[in-house]
Structure 1
Amino acid sequence: MREGDHRRYVALGDSQTEGMGDGDDVNGLRGWADRLAELLAAASPGLRYANLAVRGRVAAQVHAEQLGPALALRPDLATVVAGVNDLLRPRFDADEVGDHLEAMFAALTAQGARVATLTFPDLGRITPLARPFGPRAAALNQRIRTAARRHGVVVAETAHHPVVTDARLWSPDRLHAGPLGHERIAAAVAHALGLPDSSDAWTRPLPPEPARSRWSAAGAELRWVAAFLGPWAGRRLRGRSSGDGRTAKRPHLLPVAAPVPSQGERTP
């Protein structure tokens, strides 16, 4: 196998890695990890890919439920992305979450896998009601960077670029990337990994759009609270998760199909 080739890619994580916001449960989810697998397959024909991510999982659950199966698949490349579900909960400890991520980094790299992860944007720049979570995201990102340096993990620094919080990259629930957002995340990880034909084009801003009036913006916030924030908070109060009863969508290493034309903007 040539240096830089990948034959077995395994993705670990939560709803973002599962692909929520990019497709649906009827026709199937795509998501950034699927998109990354397509880019990898273009550079490394014969790639096989497994996605162990399950929506609603916190970092401790990703560690407990997905690391063992991931190691059994013996990947030469793995992505580990988790922690957003933790920082949205009332009790949050960046070091505790970071310890779970670091344990996964350590185990996968010790087995010989190349590992990649990413940092998280300030959710308060996506929706004003999420501003209290900004310091949490910053603390978690710093813990991710520290753990990554210790274990030689590749970090896609999505947190640094303003385009990442452009509403057009996000699905209506503002918790998951939309198709264009997933496309940009895949491009960011591909660039961090140094894949052929990858570049920093994913950091470029979208064309300007007309400014909304204050009343229009306020109305959008109220509709979002009613349609998404309320149901989400209700599940938390009842101790329920969107991932209850769900299992990984792609638990086995399978060949990667030809790329599907994007629904969003193609990143040059």
Structure 2
Amino acid sequence: MTHYRSFVALGDSFTEGLNDPAVDGGAGPAGQERFRGWADRVAERLAALDPDFRYANLAVRGKLIDQIVADQVPLAVSMRPDLVSLCAGGNDLLRPGSDPDRMAKKLAGAVRELRATGAQVLLFTGVDPRDTPIMRRARGTFAIFYLHIRSIADLYGCHLVDQWSLQGLRDWRAWSDDRLHMNEEGHRIVAARVCEVLGVPTEDDWRVTWPPRVDVDPRIKRREDVQWVRTHLGPWVLRRLRGRSSGDAVDPKRPDLKPF
């Protein structure tokens, strides 16, 4: 069993933990809603194995890969933890004209910096977007970037969680109503897989067999799609047009490397 005494999580909403509500509820920094997420779940397991374990989560929703590399990576380097997770690029890929080759070079540079500290680095591919009507049009771009991530992991000796192969995440019951962020079950699946990749014991299993779903009336499905456009897609597009991000007024939930 591998032993980690400190863990720093870097990234965007996926690593911040949207939309997996914190167990104790309440509010985070500046009155923000508290989220748990896969990273906190993994930190809980690591803390259970070492009373001196320390954890920081610098991830902020909406951040692009350039912002994560510029703002979060240097802080992680200065903290010199045993383990760093880095998941970036998802928000870039949602934007027209994203360049997976340029993104990969940016990510590789960040990985080199983190590995130079002696830290173990954990990387992620994303989920196959073929089941998402909007994102599946750019499926090839997603796939190119994720193949780059696999290559970076091999080149620099990183741990890799391949979400593309996690069949349990192919079911919408692992996702929240906005269809972009995992719910509690989705984060549980990812955390279980992370623990397995890291060699950390856990009682959870990432292999999920969902019970058969009852067929939904097409009329109900259309109404749900219309409601999703109004509630989630419309505001997202409006923020893009205004040059704003959902993370503009959000601070990292655990900015310091402290006991968990």
Please give the TM-score of this superposition, normalised by the length of structure 1.
0.89
Provide the rounded CA distance (Å) in 2 between the counterparts of 1:82 and 1:188: 18
Provide the rounded CA distance (Å) in 1 between the counterparts of 2:240 and 2:9: 26
**Alignment correspondent of 2:120:** 114
1:209 alignment partner, one of 189, 213, 237: 213
2:258 alignment partner, one of 254, 257, 268: 254
The runs of at least 4 aligned residues of structure 1 exceeding 3 Å deviation read: 24-27
Q: Following TM superposition, by how much is the alpha carbon of 1:198 offset from its aligned partner in structure 2, in angstroms?
A: 6.3
Q: Give the direction of change, closer, same or farther, for the CA distance of 1:225–1:155 in structure 2 (3 Å limit).
A: same
Provide the rounded CA distance (Å) in 1 between the counterparts of 2:137 and 2:49: 41
Aligned residues: 252
Residues 8 and 77 in structure 1, CA contact (< 8 A), matched pair in contact too = yes
**Alignment correspondent of 2:68:** 62
Provide the rounded CA distance (Å) in 2 between the counterparts of 1:122 and 1:214: 24
Residues 123 and 165 in structure 1, CA contact (< 8 A), matched pair in contact too = no
Q: Following TM superposition, by how much is the alpha carbon of 1:21 offset from its aligned partner in structure 2, in angstroms?
A: 0.5
**Alignment correspondent of 2:159:** 154
Secondary structure of 2:134's counterpart equals helix
Residues 15 and 38 in structure 2, CA contact (< 8 A), matched pair in contact too = yes
Could you tell me which runs of 5 or more consecutive residues in structure 1 were left unpaired when the two chains were aligned.
257-268
Residues 47 and 53 in structure 2, CA contact (< 8 A), matched pair in contact too = yes
User: C-alpha deviations, 1:16-45, integer Å up to 9, x for none?
Assistant: 111111127555111111111011122333
Residue identity in the other structure for 1:180: E
Provide the rounded CA distance (Å) in 2 between the counterparts of 1:15 and 1:160: 21
**Alignment correspondent of 2:168:** 163
Matches within 5 A, 1:22-171: 22-23=20-21, 27-125=33-131, 127-171=132-176
Secondary structure of 1:202's counterpart equals coil
Please give the TM-score of this superposition, normalised by the length of structure 2.
0.92
Provide the rounded CA distance (Å) in 2 between the counterparts of 1:4 and 1:203: 22
What is the root-mean-square deviation of aligned Cα atoms in Å?
1.6
Secondary structure of 1:28's counterpart equals coil
Q: Give the direction of change, closer, same or farther, for the CA distance of 1:129–1:213 in structure 2 (3 Å limit).
A: farther
Could you tell me which runs of 5 or more consecutive residues in structure 2 were left unpaired when the two chains were aligned.
none
Secondary structure of 1:206's counterpart equals coil
Q: Following TM superposition, by how much is the alpha carbon of 1:124 offset from its aligned partner in structure 2, in angstroms?
A: 3.4
